[in-house]
Chain A
């Protein structure tokens, strides 16, 4: 817990205006930052000897349709030496869902960002190959956004009466 607090003060010193909020849930520090500075913050967290979050665990997207900035990107970083984890969140608007890519500092970010683009349509500026990864190329929507249904829309054999609809 102490460590988490230290990192937070360090981040606040360095990027005071960019940190929007922070909380600690289940022993993991979670920081929400402005999307414009995501690259510099994560680069700082990776390279600074005091923080040294040298392992990118995960990138994923999230969609809150009612929020002002509906699309979110969530990064999980891990300091393997001291075994500390941190979660960085940032939110972008629907009409300009752009955020800088991390591919230049983490090779693993490549596919994770492509997956996030595939599911949520978040554009990672500077990404070397931002195309769909899991879905078919001709898919014309971003399936994980909340407004799209889970079910196969081409299916005709489902009788609504039997599904309580």
Chain B
């Protein structure tokens, strides 16, 4: 346990009632707190934005500060799919498959203009946004976005994760959303 005058930063506790020796809050707040500060991202880097992601992971920007030190290259253990770069139509089914392989709860960031909307490549071969194959939680604009922007998008996901109701993934709306994308 870190003492209160430690130089390490620890996250603030969620809203609740405290008195000496006890703390009461909602279960989903605690789960959200834990989840949002230990997200394992799966970097799905295809092109230019992937290089900026390397910079984001590098010493200068260091995504590890947000609890994402550990990249999960296997979709099975990943919480967050970060799609960075152009997704061609040839690649579309693969993104879909990777999303299917991920375990619930799962989140998706579309990093960069290409992943978000096709970007400048409005052509016969490019998928016009990955939201045509998988549901997306956060879009990060930019071509490519700066590392700060990627981190900002990541923090937006943390916010979503922290505030997600526990039963959201069982709701009929969520099922309908997955149904729409043909995800089992």
Contact = CB atoms under 8 A, between A and B. Distances in A.
Determine whether A and B are in direct contact in the complex, meaning some CB atoms lie less than 8 angstroms apart. yes
A152 B124 CA distance: 4
B89 interface: yes
A148 B128 contact: no
B3 interface: no
Interface in B113-147: 118, 122-126, 128
A149 B122 CA distance: 11
Contact of A150 (B89, B90, B123): B123
A151 interface: yes
A158 to B, nearest CB: 8
Contacts of A151: 122-124
Interface string A117-146: 000000000000000001110010001000
A155 interface: yes
Contacts of A150: 122-124
A153 B128 CA distance: 11
Interface of B: 89-90, 118, 122-126, 128
Contacts of B124: 139, 143, 148-153
A143 B124 CA distance: 8
A136 B90 contact: yes
B115 to A, nearest CB: 15
Contacts of A152: 118, 122-124, 126, 128
Contacts of B118: 152
Nearest to B118: A152
Nearest to B121: A152
Nearest to B125: A135
A111 B21 CA distance: 71
A134 B124 CA distance: 12
B122 A155 contact: yes
Contacts of A135: 90, 125
17 contacts: A135-B125, A136-B89, A136-B90, A139-B124, A150-B122, A150-B124, A151-B122, A151-B124, A152-B122, A152-B123, A152-B124, A152-B126, A152-B128, A153-B124, A154-B128, A155-B122, A155-B128
